[in-house]
Structure 1
Amino acid sequence: MSVPVIDACGLTKRYREVTAVDDVSLRIAAGEIYALLGLNGAGKTTAIRMLLGMVKPTSGSVTVLGTAVRPGVHAMWSRVGYLVETPSAYPELTVVENLTVAARLRGLNGRGPVDDVMGMLGLTPYAGRRARTLSLGNAQRLGLAKALLHEPELLILDEPANGLDPAGVVEVRDLLLELNQKHGVTVVLSSHILTEVARLATRVGVIDQGRLVREIAADQLAEHVQQRLSVSVRDSAIAEDALLAAGFRAARIGGDHLALTDARSIGEPEAVVTALVRAGCPPYRVVVEQDDLETFFLRVVRS
């Protein structure tokens, strides 16, 4: 049996009367994209800090890349890239200068790695910009660039989409998928964005009030995240009858809004629209909606 990339056993962190992380155990295999999913304050960042040796556990142990995490042991960190909370940078240095310093600390020579990672993360146009003048999104990109400079085999990222606009979120998601699928990089990340985790992770650990309450494989996530087709019409009574006649069962959810939860409606919304148009009751809004994070959590935690 292969050695897990991360093996955490009984991780607990207490701050006086507050237990931030409570008896969390994780085994993450090479090649996974593992997401710690939780509400803000659930303990995700504290757990990641313990994985990286930034915070000493009150109890429990962590092994990363086959080496126990403890003071004075550094060999494995040359194979790990990380970004935790707010990305750090020298504020008066430019983007390229910050990355050059980080490259030298990693023992990398020449401009090649710096230029490559700037291109990868869309930072080339900002190469001469001082770090203190960057937007939150570009500061996050700079933090990710520093994490990727040395081509790590393990990436540990705390809220990597923080501060990014929708296009930036997609870029980072595609980048992580490419690193994982083409280069075999194992990715461990935390997030409170359910939709992104569903599109990215191969396995999800749900953390609530410091405890790991459930682990869910990606192909099982859909069973826990409910979807519905939301339809807005002028007359919900007429629309409901028309849909029933066409073989669709809709439920009124207040006012002139209907919800359809069967697989056919969600997979073929155009069939629902066609039925309504033919009945003389065309919808003015049709959208597939998904549980928000809070609803998902309530379902998972209580199940």
Structure 2
Amino acid sequence: MDSFVLKINKLTKKYKNISVLNNISMTVKKGQIYGLIGLNGAGKSTLIKIITGLIEKNSGSMELFCEHEALKIENSRRRIGAIIESPALYENRTVYENMHMDRIQKGIPGKACIEKWLCIVGLMDVQYKKVKTLSLGSKQRLGIAMALLGEPEFLILDEPINGLDPIGIIEIRELLKKLNVEYGMTILISSHILEELYHIANYYGIIHKGRLIEEITADELNERCKKFIHIKVDNASKVAVIIEKKLKTSNFNILSDNIIKLYDYIDDSGKVTEVLVKEGIIVEQIMPMRENLETYFAKVIGGLQNA
């Protein structure tokens, strides 16, 4: 059986009889980058706070590193590093001072760990700068470095790329991949930026209105987010008939604005163009595309009206 770092079964959390989490069951296996996907208010932060011991559940069970007794779970939390919502930083202190104070607070012996993790997250060159002078991306990397001080086996990050510019997002993405591959760290990362999680995670849990409605591997997601040929023409109904007769396939969908999604001939769009042009069709656009994570997420939660 695959080893796991976290297993949750039928977990529920209520505030004044309002269910914030409802019967959640999920498993995070060792070595995974688990992407927890959900809209703002879906219950992601509440779930993470329960995992890290900041709030109590109302019912259900949780195992952490195969421990299920309350005291043993609390001891196992020492093997977790976490940033919840945003890192707590002293803006008028230097990067190094923030690391040093956090090290003392956590009771971590020796100062060597400070330079080690600042080097890994790429902040050695700014270690003596005050935090208030850093970019948002660098502050986020500092927060991650502080979460790594105790050399955790399980890293939990709540919306770590929220508000970052494209360069900052890429930096955090590459850092998390490095921690996972080179240091064998299991990572749980929550976000509502679905397309970005697509580039990071290898397993996904979709949470909506307090319910975990699906868990799916990256391979399964790729299979469901099919590739297709995007075709925009002057007359989609006419083109549909041509595709069925000349290309001998009905594996397509007709959308509004005379757009067709063709799920065959993915690697031979030139043939599709040739056939349509010979039939006198004006082809305005034709290109291979893939349905992205946002599209799939919207389908799973019941359509764009719920997104």
What is the TM-score normalised by the length of structure 2? Answer: 0.79
Q: Percent identity?
A: 33
Question: Which residue in 2 is equivalent to 1:262?
Answer: 263
**Are 1:26 and 2:13 an aligned pair?**
no
The alpha-carbon deviation at position 254 of structure 1 amounts to 4.8
Specify every segment of 5 or more residues in structure 1 that has no aligned partner in the other structure, as ranges: none
Distance 2:125 2:282 in 1: 51
Query: Is contact 1:155-1:188 (8 Å) kept?
Result: yes
**Are 1:103 and 2:103 an aligned pair?**
yes
- Helix, strand or coil at the partner of 2:169: helix
Equivalent pairs, count: 298
The alpha-carbon deviation at position 154 of structure 1 amounts to 0.8
Distance 1:35 1:229 in 2: 28
Structure 1 residue identity aligned to 2:187: V
| Structure 1 residues 56-104: Cα deviation after superposition (integer angstroms, max 9, x where no partner) | 1122232322344747974323321111102111122111210122223
User: Residues 252 and 141 from structure 1, CA distance in 2 versus in 1: closer, same or farther, beyond 3 angstroms?
Assistant: same
Specify every segment of 5 or more residues in structure 2 that has no aligned partner in the other structure, as ranges: none
Question: Which residue in 2 is equivalent to 1:78?
Answer: 78
Distance 1:17 1:172 in 2: 38
| Structure 1 residues 193-245: Cα deviation after superposition (integer angstroms, max 9, x where no partner) | 32233333232111110011111122111243345444567x677x959x959
Question: Which residue in 2 is equivalent to 1:46?
Answer: 46
Question: Which residue in 2 is equivalent to 1:184?
Answer: 184
The alpha-carbon deviation at position 22 of structure 1 amounts to 0.9
**Are 1:290 and 2:286 an aligned pair?**
no
Structure 2 residue identity aligned to 1:57: K
The alpha-carbon deviation at position 163 of structure 1 amounts to 2.5
| Structure 1 residues 260-293: Cα deviation after superposition (integer angstroms, max 9, x where no partner) | 341543x566776788999997867857253452
Distance 1:271 1:119 in 2: 52
- Helix, strand or coil at the partner of 2:170: helix
Question: Which residue in 1 is equivalent to 2:156?
Answer: 156
Question: Which residue in 1 is equivalent to 2:200?
Answer: 200
User: Residues 286 and 74 from structure 1, CA distance in 2 versus in 1: closer, same or farther, beyond 3 angstroms?
Assistant: same
Query: Is contact 2:6-2:62 (8 Å) kept?
Result: yes
**Are 1:10 and 2:10 an aligned pair?**
yes
What is the TM-score normalised by the length of structure 1? Answer: 0.80
The alpha-carbon deviation at position 8 of structure 1 amounts to 1.9
User: Residues 161 and 271 from structure 1, CA distance in 2 versus in 1: closer, same or farther, beyond 3 angstroms?
Assistant: farther
CA RMSD of aligned residues (A): 3.6
